[in-house]
Amino acid sequence: MVRGKVKLRLIADESARRAAFRKRTKGLLKKLDEVTKLCDVEACAIIYGQNEAQPTLWPSPEGFQAVIHRFMGMSEVDRSKKMLNLESYLQERLIKTHEQINRLSSENEEKRLTLIMYEYLAAQRFVEKPMDLVDLDGLIRLLHQNMGNIARRMAMLNATGTQGEASSSHPPNQSG
| Chain positions contacting DNA, by CB under 7 A | 1-6, 14-16, 18-20, 22-24, 26-28, 30-31, 34, 38
Using the rule CB under 8 A, is 5 a contact of a copy of itself?
A: no
Neighbours of 58 (CB within 10 A): 19
Cα dihedral 94/86/176/163 (nearest 10) = -60
CA–CA separation, 45 vs 67, rounded Å? Answer: 9
Nearest to 50 by CA among 77, 23, 24, 14: 14
Buried b (16+ CB within 10 A) or exposed e, 62-96: eebeeeeeeeeeeeeeeeeeeeeeeeeeeeeeeee
Choose from DNA, a copy of itself, none: what does 86 bind? Cβ within 5-8 Å by kind: a copy of itself
Q: Which is nearer to DNA, 6 or 41 (CB)?
A: 6
Q: How far is the CB of 35 from DNA (least distance, A)?
A: 7
Binding residues for a copy of itself restricted to 78-137, rule: CB under 8 A: 79, 82-84, 86-87, 89-98, 100-101, 103-109, 111-120, 122-125, 130, 133-137
CA nearest 48: which of 64, 69, 37? 64
- Per CB under 8 A, contacts with a copy of itself among 24-43 are 24-25, 27-28, 31-32, 34-35, 37-43
Q: Which does 94 bind (CB under 5 to 8 A by kind): a copy of itself, DNA, none?
A: a copy of itself
Choose the contact partner of 26 out of a copy of itself, DNA, none; CB within 5 to 8 A by kind.
DNA
